[in-house]
Chain A
């Protein structure tokens, strides 16, 4: 199998350097301390070494990359012949602008996959250029990696690369997460959902013959989830449904013909969109008119948060009013395979404790099909 891989390393990966100047509290200091170490180049080499020694023998890969420490240096030493440098960096060091410009050049080469090494910030820079046109795969090298584009480890990333080249993995939605800089400057550490990119995910298999399995596309699974949600709405006609952010729920909403927002929270009553991209206050106002509410959420980002990342509008006050038991969590099985927990970080210890006491939540993974998943919170 042959593939064209675009490869970018952010040599000063992680957010430490970027935010260190502004931060004050403990979390930040830790981030600076970790981020200040130039880890990216080593992590990139580790991944490449793993890939070339274990998997590359039958893979035909054409590499497109940047000069120096943004890719070419890392690829050196592995005997790669099919390599083309498409972007040259200056001697003054690199910036997010370099990442973005490199991506533009790589896109011109029609690469099949963008492999990068960095953290959430790098993922965001790449996503801004690449969008949903090609899948993105991240070698984890940042201090914080909340985005769903990263492999769990360098060796897992190498394996994913090999499986992508051999087409045994499928394409699915992954979230790009971003630090909310405004709140950050005030000393609050908040992660918001920046966008939905394409990532490579483990397919779901369905047995068709005794030993024959078909891999099911991410969208086919989401179709099932949509059916499920529509059934829920049918069964609970007097309920207001709040649809959370993320690719899975956006797909479901669109399947129902709703012009929903991908990053925001939308309100649906009687299968009609009655409010779009609502903030906390607007939700609280809605709750006055609609006392019975269900919330549809999906795990967001690499760590599987359903509350506290990317949907701060669903504040503790809102959740307490709605009641924890009215939360319906939906997820594709492939997403659950990479996030074995669902996490909540509501910022309200009392509310978090309600989730802790529950220990598990039923997560809908197909039409009328669910499984229990352990809940974790940040406090314990």
Chain B
């Protein structure tokens, strides 16, 4: 009998739907701004990664327009063949300067950076040592590597030390990988200590600073700057898709790293390069970060105010040290219910439930934004208080 080649498509989708695990895509009918229109409804946007509200910043928009007008809509090729434009090189130079590293490289996305570079840095006879709570794109990069893997307890330097000690005896290269800012809890990896340990054992360090880029450190220069160890982390990987308000992945480090990376990363070599408009906006984003410090300041002022008020209402905001603010509810069902009720009240914030977080630590994850006014924050806080009481969370 001939097999039914495509039946699984519907069957697996239906299964997800029946378990309520499918993505019900919400559609933005406005730009991604603090006041957005989502599925036809005006809402306060509390779940975008557009931390600094740069995605609609006039200078970024103008940067995109100017570049498109001058260089067109597309780049025509992959970077390696004929798609490297002067604009791309300029972004990379400016980025390295901003990150205070020797060099930098733009990838098509953050995922492309992790999935492309990690498997090239290590191979057979090597080991990757990874924080147990690392992001999915790191995990996929790690899976593609031929190296052995070991995990250590979240941010536990004692355990990392023990793994290094064991690994030191057996392996050629050792690569320590961690998220910079952990996306579920908003806590920060102790990068200074990780670098110190890595140096003791001659290990490489790789940090995925997607949620730290533009957010932590002086002027939002990321985790290296946050700990005052610029240029000491072997691979600082980050993104233009979040605080920078555009799209794209990046790595910053030595010239050796960059030379190696673009010659070896298959994702980089085999994907088309960013259109001029993207590069133009990226360049403008770096300009804005260097010349308009108010955005990072606003982000942190808003974060501190929002967290303080939530705590005084009796909410548990966990271990967060960044604008990622988990409002811990406990039960997964309750977190989903709260998210729905919040949406009814014109607040768009995502529930994060088991098994993404522990069974009793389901939460609403609020991403604070620099563009929110005090009035906006008070509005959100009022709704959280009302619904928190209604659901007996506070």
Which residues of A are at the interface with B, using a C-beta cutoff of 8 A? Answer: 205, 207, 209-213, 215, 359-360, 362, 368-372
With a CB–CB cut-off of 8 A, which chain B residues contact A212? 16, 21
Q: Are A371's CB and B139's CB within 8 A?
A: no
From B139, B150, B153, B356, give the contact of A211 (CB < 8 A): B356
Given A205-B355, A209-B23, verify A372-B148 contact (CB < 8 Å): no
Does B163 lie within 8 Å of A369, measured CB to CB? no
Complex contact B136–A210 (CB within 8 A): yes
Number of interface residues of B (CB under 8 A): 21
B150 contact set on A, CB distance < 8 A = 362, 369-372
Cβ–Cβ contact A372 & B356, under 8 A: no
Q: Mark B337-355, 1 if CB is under 8 A from A, else 0.
A: 0000000000000001101
Q: Is B162 an interface residue (CB 8 A)?
A: yes
Q: How far is A228 from B352 in the complex, measured between Cα atoms in Å?
A: 33
Question: Closest residue of chain A to B166, judged by CB?
Answer: A362
B94 at the interface (CB under 8 A from A): no
Closest to A362 in B: B166
Q: Which residues of B contact A (CB under 8 A)?
A: 16, 21, 23, 132, 136, 139, 147-153, 159, 162-163, 166, 352-353, 355-356
Q: Kindly state the separation between the CA atoms of A370 and B153 in the bound complex, as whole angstroms.
A: 12
Q: Which one of B23, B147, B148, B355 contacts A370 once the chains associate, using CB atoms below 8 Å?
A: B148
Minimum CB–CB distance from B77 to chain A (whole Å) comes to 30
The 10 A-B residue pairs with the shortest CB-CB distance in the complex, in nearest-first order:
A205-B355, A360-B162, A368-B148, A213-B355, A372-B162, A369-B149, A371-B151, A370-B150, A212-B21, A362-B166
| In contact, A207 and B136 (Cβ under 8 angstroms) | yes
Q: A370 vs B152: C-alpha distance in the bound complex, in angstroms? A: 9
| 19 pairs, CB–CB < 8 Å, chain A vs chain B | A205-B355, A207-B136, A209-B23, A210-B23, A210-B136, A211-B23, A211-B353, A212-B21, A359-B162, A362-B163, A362-B166, A368-B149, A369-B149, A369-B151, A370-B148, A370-B149, A370-B150, A372-B150, A372-B152
Which among A215, A359, A369, A371 has the highest number of chain B CB atoms within 10 Å?
Answer: A371
- CA of A370 to CA of B148 in the docked complex: distance in angstroms? 8
A225 to chain B, nearest CB (A): 14
Among A213, A215, A372, the residue within 8 A (CB) of B166 is A372
Q: A368-B147, A372-B162 are in contact. List 4 more A-B contacts (CB 8 A).
A: A210-B23, A211-B352, A359-B162, A368-B148
A213 touches B148 (CB 8 A): no
- B-side contacts of A215, CB under 8 Å: 355
Contacts A212-B16, A213-B355, A360-B166 given; indicate if A207 touches B149 (C-beta within 8 A). Answer: no
Specify which chain A residues have a CB less than 8 angstroms from the CB of B147 in the assembled complex.
368
Q: Which B residues touch A205, using CB under 8 A?
A: 355
Query: Please, how many angstroms separate the alpha-carbon atoms of A209 and B15 in the complex?
Result: 14
Residue of A nearest to B139 (CB): A207
Measured CB to CB, the nearest residue on chain B to A207 is B136
In the complex the two chains form, what is the Cα distance from A212 to B16 in whole Å?
9
Chain A residues within an 8 Å CB radius of B132: 371
Q: Output the nearest chain A residue to B137 by Cβ-Cβ distance.
A: A210
Which B residues lie within 8 Å of A368 (CB)? 147-149
Task: Determine the chain B residues whose CB is within 8 A of the CB of A359 once the complex forms.
Answer: 162
Q: Do A213 and B356 contact each other (CB < 8 Å), given the known contacts A372-B162, A372-B166? A: yes
Q: Provide the residues of chain A in CB contact with B159, threshold 8 Å.
A: 360, 372
User: A210 — which chain B residues lie within 8 A by C-beta?
Assistant: 23, 136
Across the interface, do A372 and B163 meet the contact criterion of CB distance under 8 Å?
yes
Complex Cα gap A215–B153 (Å): 21
CB distance from B197 to the nearest CB of A (A): 14
CB distance from B349 to the nearest CB of A (A): 14
With CB as the reference atom, state the residue of chain A lying closest to B151.
A371
Q: How far is the CA of A369 from the CA of B130 in the complex (A)?
A: 10
CA distance A369 to B148 in the complex (A): 6
Smallest CB–CB gap between B351 and chain A, Å? 9
**Chain B residue nearest in CB terms to A325:** B169
